[in-house]
Structure 1
Amino acid sequence: MSEWTAADLPSFAGRTVIVTGANSGLGEVTARELARVGAKVVLAVRNTAKGDAAASGMSGYVDGASGATGRVEVRQLDLQDLASVRAFADGVDTVDVLVNNAGIMAVPYALTVDGFESQIGTNHLGHFALTNLLLPKVTDRVVTVSSQMNLIGRINLKDLNWKSRPYLAWPAYGQSKLANLLFTKELQRRLDAAGSKLKAHAAHPGYSATNLQSHSTGAFGKFFEAGNRIVATDADFGARQTLYAVSQDLPGDSFIGPRYAMWGPTGPTPLRSPLARSAAKATALWELSEQLTDTRFSL
């Protein structure tokens, strides 16, 4: 059997997909490929000028049987501002697939509008709130982009936002990516308990050269600068993992990535931290996230 690629995507004609952070990198490729196969794609981006530039390079797919054409829409969403998240969600009528793709990596310490450490705020809490607010409008699945760096993550429920300990950029990133997996696990548990047919999946891109690494600090920043030139795959390969999770028939709480961590055929991956398998930690993080964002599971 040949390796799965975006060329194997089924038609998404008549379906709507929201992709956060779709103005560049993995998100842009994800949105482009879904539009190509007929989806209406909403590029949910902080900078709409950059979103418009990305959208201008995306062509709609024309289905020979139905004549359906993919459409691309750019809408403002700032995951570092819960008021923006609420405004975006209020403007959505229905969506088949939500792709929680946007993220920042190993940035200097900063706070979101709502006072969250910026990495946990953007990568987890913003998407947590968005998902809960949109959940009654979702018809198929939620896919959240995590990372191999979940393996270095530790969730500190007493200090999720690094207020009482020295801030460390990479551990903070690892915490946020572990949070993505715990969120997916608990979301699927709650969907199952509610008798919902919706699915929650996660994906990791392997190691793809995107502008995400350009903001990394310290020695790791220099490592990624070299790694992008020597060993990294391209954004098309990284987005392939997300597209597989978006389109394939998978059991709930699947984690998709390259077979050999950074390269190889796309499919379920074992690169999930043992900490990400803790049902108790997943529930505790969910409850804390509800308190911090003032959003609730709504099915």
Structure 2
Amino acid sequence: MSTRPRTPGHGAPAPGKLPITELLEMKGSHSPIAMITAYDAPSGRLADAAGVDMILVGDSAAMTVLGHDSTVPATVDEMLVLTRAVRRGATRPLIVADMPFGSFQISDELAVTNAVRFVKEAGADAVKLEGAGLMLDRVRAIVGSGVPVMGHIGLTPQSATALGGFKAQGRTAAKAAELVSDALALEEAGCFSVVLEAVPTPVAARITELLTIPTIGIGAGGDVDGQVLVWHDLLGLYDGHAPRFVKQYAQLAGEIQDAVEHYVADVREHRFPEEVHTYGMPEEELEAFVAEVGEGREVGLQADLGVSGLA
């Protein structure tokens, strides 16, 4: 196992920012790491206030926010916009930007260029990329440029088709051994953490034991160093089937639809806006306005605009 430093980075963390070194300490002290995937400033702010340690700006936004059927269509420019938004909302958590499909696979040079963009243009603290194997060179190149990298193995959505769909990975001894090898290789390449997605609990537990860097599980059982869930999954912001590994802590889709339906009904029945939601103007200004536009509609104007003071 490598003895290289496990804290690559592009500089000292901002005041109040969780340093990567603290993640390593949390693993050592068996303090679970809480991570969430979010996509905008309000969710970043709420996640920060709730005490999460890391926020992943995931390319899952292609599906949850942009309406695509997979993560593949997400672009670097779209991910930069979302990462900037989350960065404005969250102060303490580490912001990890997901590198979308096509942004790192082609060459080391392109991978480094895009990783640096996430740091310089969007304020990300680190980037995440999927896979091992041929992608290990990309990890080394990005880490060598000074940008921290989070790895991701198991179910990798960008290559889900090649994996046979959105299915658990590592369920045979041979495939499980491959995952262990990949995890060790990602650590050797310089990753500061590795996401394990849809991996059998015993396999994830063994990987966690072998690595000196934290493992973050999503559908990988409870014997990893931390957990991550997608904002929309956790809050129940959709109808339909949720992955087996998702626990919904709220069912907000129904509440949101109910609120919007009430709004639509109030508009159509002239119940909204009420007077408390409107603005008036001083009587003398109203009189001057009526004189300016003509007195023929004075009564109507008085009724429509009101004669109350400025709010």
Q: Which TM-score band (shorter chain)?
A: 0.3 to 0.5
Structure-2-length-normalised TM-score: 0.32
| Structure whose CA Rg is larger | 2
More strand by share: 1
Structure-1-length-normalised TM-score: 0.33
